[in-house]
Structure 1
Amino acid sequence: MNEAKTIRPVYAGVFTIALAVLSLEIALTRIFSVALWYHLAFMVISTALLGFGASGAYLAVKRSVRPDNLALKLPRYAGLTALSVIVAFALMTRLPLDPLAPMLPGLSPAEQTWQTVLLVLMLLAEYVLVVVPFFFAGLTLGGAFSSLARRISTLYFADLIGGGTGCLVVVALLWVLPGQGVVFVAAGLAALAALFFSLSQHGGWRPITYLALGGAVVVFGLSPVADRLLPLHIPPSKPLYQAYTDPSIELVYTGYTPFARVDVMYKEGASLGAWGISARCPAPPSPEQMFITIDAAAITAITRFDGNPDTIAFVNCAPSGLAYQVSAAPPRSALIIGPGGGIDVLTALYNRVERVVGVEINPLIVDLVADASLFRQFAGGLYTDYPGIQIELAEGRNYVARSAERFDLIQFSQVDTWAAAASGAYSLSENFLYTVEAFLDYYDHLTDDGMLTVGRWYFDPPQQAFRLVTIGTAALERRGVTDPARHFMVVRAGDTATFIMKRTPFNADEIARLRQVVDRLGFSVLYAPDVTDGDNWFVQYFNASDRDAFFRAYPLDVSPTSDDRPFFFEYYGWSNLGDFRSGKATLVILLAQALLLAAAFILWPLWRFQRHGLTTRGAPQFLGYFAALGIGFILIEVGLMQRFILFLGHPVYSTSVVLFSILTFSGLGSYLSGRLLGEEDPRRLQVRVIPLLAVLTLGYVFVLPPLFQAFIGLDLTARVAIAVALLMPLGLLMGMPFPLGIRLVDRLNPGLVAWAWGVNGFCSVLGSILTVMIAQSYGFSIVIGLAVGVYLLGLAVVSTIGGRTGVGGQPSEASG
């Protein structure tokens, strides 16, 4: 049979299985954010890589896939991928997993111990279930690569193009399908891959071909109702859990975007007012409220409003209203970042602010308040019927950077939940609202007497409020302020802490006015310019002659965060991992878990059954080279995803655009490497490509910030186009080292091809976690710098391998 007709379905299968893998991976991160917490969504990356690495080890041990049985093996592996996606996900939704179960109130010590043991077992089960589909997908791709190593450039091209396409497809799907539906689509794509592989044997239709087609049609057809077939388990620690257990609470809306799942709970007559509201409030109680949950956790309220300002007087009894009462006259303009259901907008309206701009990132939340078919009438047309109120769809920091307007007040309040903050759920997440560069943007967009007010949660000793002060201090000093201590006030109200920073120093009247309000409402002043108590942490900070020494002495890390190290919610060091709130503790656990499982499922099988391959000449150098590629590639990939978040306006956009660009252009680079190389020794191209990749990567560290600053004012479409153009040369170069290495090892030591796959996967598993560990402590610039060093080390190692390859790819000298 014509070889071209045989191989084309293989390329189609590789493309489709890669498309399925990326779609599944991103869909699971969304699902874990809802059913668990954000920091466990991070686990998907390492488990996916573990599955791929384990499959490489399996292939190295079995060595059963060869060109003569390609059609027999690959359709089976792809079919198992499709089946395992559905079965594993169905079992995941049945696991009663709650990461905060040991911390639930009312548990005895014995019950806490049991819940901890149960949690460890549940997490292990969840980890294994996630690994299984990626293991079979890895068998499919690894089988194709091992069987057709001479075609690695074009196979790798199909793989990366498929993965890159998946990054865009999954974002589009998440606008119209729930996360469960995208999982079903991924299973359908894997079934289609099985169909393509089955056509590669004789080009005809066999029973497995019809089975694959039927399976794809069924799961595609069920994807719109997948959330009803496999509803997610919502843990008791999440507020949305109440809607499933309290019959008096009605779930009146559920919607999905790539950003979040959004639900609305309603209980007749229910009202919570606002975060930190005073028990001494003289105003009438808050009107009835609906409660929006974001990913089942973060809560924001829609308040029933009939246009009568007297009914919302309660807003000035909440700490979010303090900044409006500091000056003799209310601010004339306010920028509210993350208005959610509208509490802060109501506060501005009640205080007679003439111009209010609300910047909300999630379009579903805006629709809930503004759409007449939803809850516009309940909210009193707050987002639509008032000419002084303007709602913009954008990420807050990105909007500020693009805006030329200056405001009397910039405000954002409790953009997450107490449970999320207390659990450490955001400690692994970058947050660009709380960095020195962000505060510089806010400062530059304040009027001469303008104020920035931020609502956060209170912990003892102070952490979130304290870090806001250190960030603000760094920003003010960069703008030439010599006495920043006079520019801050911090107030505690229950579990909340409200930070206020003024562009000019607070005067005595403003301090006295705020103290009167605080005393009347029963709040407490944590810091004001007139506080002189030497035991006050804030006073000690401002009086410290050596701030670095102060930071070292303080119980927590409250040093200023930057755009390069934007982990605002992480307060512990590596010598003090802290309790369950610490992201570092989570990372250490994940690293230990990944190291153990990756060693057990990748390295041990290779060592047990294929250790003789390690005695061949060049084996250590080859494995060192592929280890370097595994670590270096993911260090650059994750570092770039972080770099582009602010420019593109949302992590979802950054992840999708960066992954699409890197994978797509890496695929093109892989293809070009084969064309450029011909039958020459791959090392002749490696010694050119890798140094060029290193220089270009380092250049990005210095070039990207000014370019972003120059183009951030463009619309999203233009910024995406610029991002893709910027990533194109780097992606092309990143796609070449791996296929060049595979071709070299296939010519000099063919038995190590699957070993290369397994070791590369093992190091990628660890690299995905090490990237965040390094970035938390040293920043993403160091991450990218280390990636360059790792790539160059890999080149140095592979350059020491003896043996030359001749025409036709055969060794011209014995290689051992």
Structure 2
Amino acid sequence: MPRPPLFALALLSAAALGYEILLMRLLSIIQWHHFAYMMISVALLGYGAAGALVALAQRTLVRHFVPVFAGGALLFGVSAMGCFALAQHVAFNPLEILWEPSQPLRLLLIYLLLFVPFFCAATSICLSFSRFTGQVPRIYSFDILGAGLGCLGIIVALFALHPVDALRLVGMAGMAAAALACVECRWHRPWLPALLLLAAIVPAGVPGDWIALRPSEYKELSQALRIGNARVVAQRSSPLGLVTVVESPSIPLRHAPGLSLNASQEPPAQLAVFTDGDGLSALNRHDGRREPLAYLGDLTSALPYHLLRNPKVLVLGSGAGADVLQAVYHQASAVDAVELNPQVIDLVQGRFAAFSGKPYSAAGVRVFAGEARGFLAASTARYDLIQVALLDSFSTSSAGLYALSESYLYTVEAFQGYLRHLRPGGLLAITRWVTLPPRDIPKLLATAVAAMEGAGVPDPSRRLALIRGWKTATLVVKNGEFSAADLAALADFCRARSFDVEYYPGIQPGQANRYNVLDQPYFFDAAQALLGPEHDRFLSRYKFDVRPATDDRPYFFHFFKWRTLPELLSLKAQGGLPLLEWGYPVLVATLLQATALAWLLIVVPLWILRRRPRPQPAAGPGGNGAAVRRLPEWRAGFYFLAVGLGFMFVEIAFIQKFILFLSHPLYAVAVVLCAFLCFAGLGSRYAQRMPARAGDDRGRRQAALAVNGICVAALVYLAALPTVFRLLIGLPDPARIGVSVLLIAPLAFLMGMPFPLGLARIAARDETLVPWAWGINACASVVAAVLATLVAIHVGFTAVVLLALLLYAAAALACP
């Protein structure tokens, strides 16, 4: 048999996975992250559709293997760019999807467009397994190794390239894979590889206007650019986000969230800083004088500075530097600032140094580029004030590469870590937007109470204070009880600025809701319920989910409850839909769509294949083909379904668990995903050499051995990783990356074995089912990516791993 195009296969797999990650970046910029995830999840069913196509047309496609493989790779390269460009021109507005009948049809059109590139790449990959059934483990190893290197490669490329240029690179890789396949297979048309390599250069010459990013007109950046004379003055791109700086000379920006209505000083000149077109923060003009910064003393976030004198401050999520300037204005003795995205720091300190006055270089100020929790875990410093800036989750603790909004800033364990780094009498201050009905603030209160109770604090109610302005609210947690002097200073601060005191120890009902009057004292009532005997009843009966988030369930921004949905929908004519957190309903809709389509892609090809004449197996050395039993399809289907679900469950859960150890969400994605795929590829190569007794059930024994190893390793990891992480968190970044790779390697190596072992077993019994089984595994992977997040929201990532182990055990029992 001719050799399979292994290196072309690896390059195509790398391009396909790179395209998946890149699409998440691109669609997060032009839409919103949860809708981006929805679109990509459904589009990835192109892999399942490719398995169905190859299963139904296997003989014809295998007979023309080289042109079909090269054609699929070439079409992937072309459609990766072309279909994304067309998808951008579909006038889809997710905000209208519940009442505008044409919006679901437009979403379907986007699905179909993004489906095409994955379908083309997957057809070539799946056909390789069908053509070279005797080399399944070897082919799978190159497939998954290529995917791992593609994951790492696209993340590295996004540091150097704008996302649009990275899209060109993906297109070129697909076309280059087509040329490489012709060379490896020694096709008889020697001029074709040269022609295909020439075609691979074409994406570099595609006009920028054809594939330029067109963000939704409803994103904050689009709205800002509609202001007269507003223009983009700087832009920086990385896997952490597209940072855009906007200047508006004719209508100056005045961004002061929660500024007191009594304030007499307006903010200085400002530039608007956006991340992925949202998350507005202000870059202030600063010439070194304190007077222009006086407005920073009239924000709710200024409260801690009126309770402390010359504090040592830690600012988490410092962004463009407004919170650092607030500390400088209040004469903090020292300021440590932590910001996830180094490009934001570079813009503030470099490109706009003359405008900003370089706040991170002010006396007593130090800046650290990193993730907030990781910085604290590796630090032994203690502070008088730890301030969590008014930023959404993507700006500080998430890279925007995941579904929904995982945030490790607002978990019970995070609060306990903050409190451990406070000096006696120190304050933790967290400012959030005021939402009505209240959601963020009750959840913060519940989290603070749970954190203190877990740390053994006898009466958390003596250590909490909450104030509210017209737009923001600030929660203060003290490492100790509030004194009478503290409460007097708090009352004076709020009275002078007309801020409402919603809770402090000993507050009376008439003292709340006095200035920014609501029809009911929602925040006061929530605080009383959470700090009293009605705590559990309040959490269960409240219309939104305000249970504390944990590191195992880091979904602070998940407030959705199904029983509230009918009421919200009934209020849509009155503007009630903004109360609907889109992430969770979109996730459920994605799961339903992906599951329904996956079921069709599994059942329909099997129904057709069953009605075709079955080929007789080839005679083996020990007898004739008729002696080989017919393979039970249901058993094979369940095996590959369980293995696909289990692999993705474990992979996703461990990415989350390594985020805090690696102290960076980007490192977790790059290191964990790449290591999982690469070592799984090595495990696949070893699978065919695994020792097992000879006989008809040899493959089943090998699969059972691998599954036993997976279960033991995963359970050991669940028990030991927290201790290992705690002991080694202080190591430098390169050392922690190396430790992570060493920890992942054994588990990933074992996880690479069940799929090729099962597929090789299928190939030995019935070659016509190879693409069908491959398609089942692909469909399961797509469904698992959505289902894992849904399970984690409700019961945590540890439960996701345990469910994966049950699936692996079931797969071992069902191994064909």
* TM over 0.5, shorter chain: yes
How far did residue 701 of structure 1 move? 1.2
SS at match of 1:254: strand
Q: TM-score, normalised by structure 1?
A: 0.90
CA 1:368–1:654 in structure 2 vs 1: closer, same or farther (change >3 Å)?
same
Q: Which residue of 2 aligns with 1:769?
A: 786
Following superposition, the deviation at residue 55 of structure 1 comes to 0.5
Q: Quote the offset at 1:425 in angstroms.
A: 13
The aligned residue for residue 414 of structure 2 is 438
Moved more, 676-685 or 773-782: 676-685
Structure 1 residues 777, 617: closer, same or farther in 2, change over 3 A? same
What secondary structure does 2:435 align onto?
Answer: coil
Pairs within 5 Å for 1:45-444: 46-64=41-59, 68-101=63-96, 113-114=99-100, 117-202=101-186, 205-219=189-203, 221-222=204-205, 228-242=209-223, 244-268=225-249, 270-282=252-264, 284-327=265-308, 329-331=309-311, 333-371=312-350, 374-384=351-361, 386-416=362-392, 428-444=404-420
Is 1:665 the counterpart of 2:641? The answer is no
SS at match of 1:306: coil
Displacement after TM superposition at 1:227 (Å): 5.4
Question: Offset of 1:569 from its aligned partner?
Answer: 0.4
Structure 1 residue 527 corresponds to structure 2 residue 509: no
CA distance in 2, matches of 1:216, 1:610: 41
| 1:638 alignment partner in structure 2 | 652
Structure 1 residue 478 displacement after superposition = 2.2
| Percent sequence identity over aligned pairs | 33
Once residues 47 and 273 of structure 1 are traced to their aligned partners in structure 2, the CA distance between those partners, rounded to angstroms, is 39
Partner amino acid, structure 2, of 1:433? L
- Aligned partner (choices 754, 774, 777) of residue 760 of structure 1: 777
CA deviation map 1:746-777 (0-9, x unaligned)? 11222211110122122222211111110000
Deviation (angstroms), 1:732: 0.5
Give the Cα separation in 2 of the matches to 1:62 and 1:53: 14
TM-score, structure 2 length as denominator? 0.90
Q: Write out aligned runs for 1:580-729 (5 A).
A: 580-608=580-608, 610=610, 616-676=630-690, 681-729=698-746
1:811 matched residue in structure 2: none
Distance between the aligned counterparts of 2:583 and 2:33, measured in 1?
11
**What is the CA–CA distance in structure 2 between the aligned matches of 1:581 and 1:391, rounded to whole Å?**
34
- SS for the counterpart of 1:512 is helix
Q: 1:779 to 1:419 in 2, by over 3 A?
A: closer
Aligned to 2:558: 570
Distance 1:603 1:91, change over 3 A: farther
Alignment of 1:8-27 (within 5 A): 10-27=5-22
Structure 2 unaligned spans of 5+ = 511-520, 569-576, 615-628
Q: What is the CA–CA distance in structure 1 between the aligned matches of 2:186 and 2:749, rounded to whole Å?
A: 35
Q: Structure 2 counterpart of 1:475, which letter?
A: A
> What is the one-letter code of the residue matched to 2:254?
L
CA distance in 1, matches of 2:394, 2:66: 54
Deviation at 1:310, TM superposition (A): 0.6
Q: Structure 1 residues 348 and 159, CA, compared in 2 at 3 Å: closer, same or farther?
A: same
8 A Cα contact 2:232 2:246, kept in partner: yes
Question: How far apart are the structure 2 equivalents of 1:392 and 1:419?
Answer: 15
The 1:485–1:725 alpha-carbon spacing in structure 2 relative to 1, beyond 3 Å, is same
Aligned equivalents of 2:209, 2:327: Cα separation in 1: 40
> Do the aligned partners of 1:437 and 1:475 also contact (CA within 8 Å) in 2?
yes
- Which of 3, 25, 28 aligns to 1:7? It is 3
Q: Which residue identity does 2:778 align to in structure 1?
A: G
1:745 aligns with 2:762: yes
Give the C-alpha shift of residue 662 in structure 1.
Answer: 0.7
Q: Secondary structure at the match of 1:460?
A: coil
1:684-714 Cα offsets, whole Å, 9 max, x none, are: 2112111111111122111111111111111
Residues 541, 7 of structure 1: alpha-carbon distance in 2 compared, 3 angstrom cutoff: same
Q: Contact between 1:564 and 1:781, CA under 8 Å: does it hold in 2? A: yes
Q: Is the 8 A contact 1:149 1:743 kept in 2?
A: yes
- Count of residues paired in the alignment: 772
Paired residues of 1:411 and 1:454 also in contact (CA < 8 A): yes
* Runs of 4+ with deviation above 6 angstroms: 417-420, 424-427
Residue identity matched to 2:553: R
- Give 2:548's aligned residue: 560
Closer/same/farther in 2, CA of residues 768 and 427 from structure 1, 3 Å limit: closer
In 1, distance between residues paired with 2:247 and 2:735? Answer: 41
Instruction: Give the SS at the match of 1:100.
Output: helix
Superposed displacement of residue 541, structure 1:
2.6
Q: Are residues 668 and 382 of structure 1, via their aligned partners in 2, closer, same or farther at CA, if it must alter by over 3 Å?
A: same
Tell me how far apart the structure 2 counterparts of residues 610 and 82 of structure 1 sit (CA, whole Å): 35
Task: Give 1:229 deviation, angstroms.
Answer: 4.4
Q: SS of the residue aligned with 2:475?
A: strand
Give the aligned residue type for 1:366: I
Shift of 1:65: 5.4
Alpha carbons of structure 1 residues 272 and 101: separation in structure 2 relative to 1, 3 Å: farther
User: CA separation of 1:341/1:13 partners in 2, compared to 1, >3 Å: closer, same or farther?
Assistant: same
**SS of alignment partner, residue 475 of structure 1:** helix
Does 631-640 or 269-278 show the bigger shift?
269-278
Where 2:468 maps in the other structure, the secondary structure is: strand
Deviation at 1:248, TM superposition (A): 1.1
Contact 1:243/1:251, CA 8 A, preserved across alignment: no
The Cα shift of 1:39 comes to 1.3
- Structure 1 gap segments, 5+ residues each: 103-111, 802-816
Which shifted more, 704-713 or 560-569? 704-713
Query: Quick one: distance in 1 between partners of 2:771 and 2:499?
Result: 65
Name the CA distance, whole Å, in 1 between partners of 2:533 and 2:172: 63
Corresponding residue of 2:423: 447
Let me know the Cα RMSD of the aligned residues: 2.5
1:526-579 deviation per Cα after TM superposition (whole angstroms, max 9, x unaligned): 222222449743344345436333311222221111100010000123555566
1:779-803 CA-partner distances (Å, limit 9, x unpaired):
00000000000010111122xx5xx
**SS state of the match for residue 378, structure 1?**
helix
**Aligned partners of 1:400 and 1:721: how far apart in 2?**
21
Deviation for aligned residue 1:330:
4.0
Change (3 A) 1:419 1:380: closer
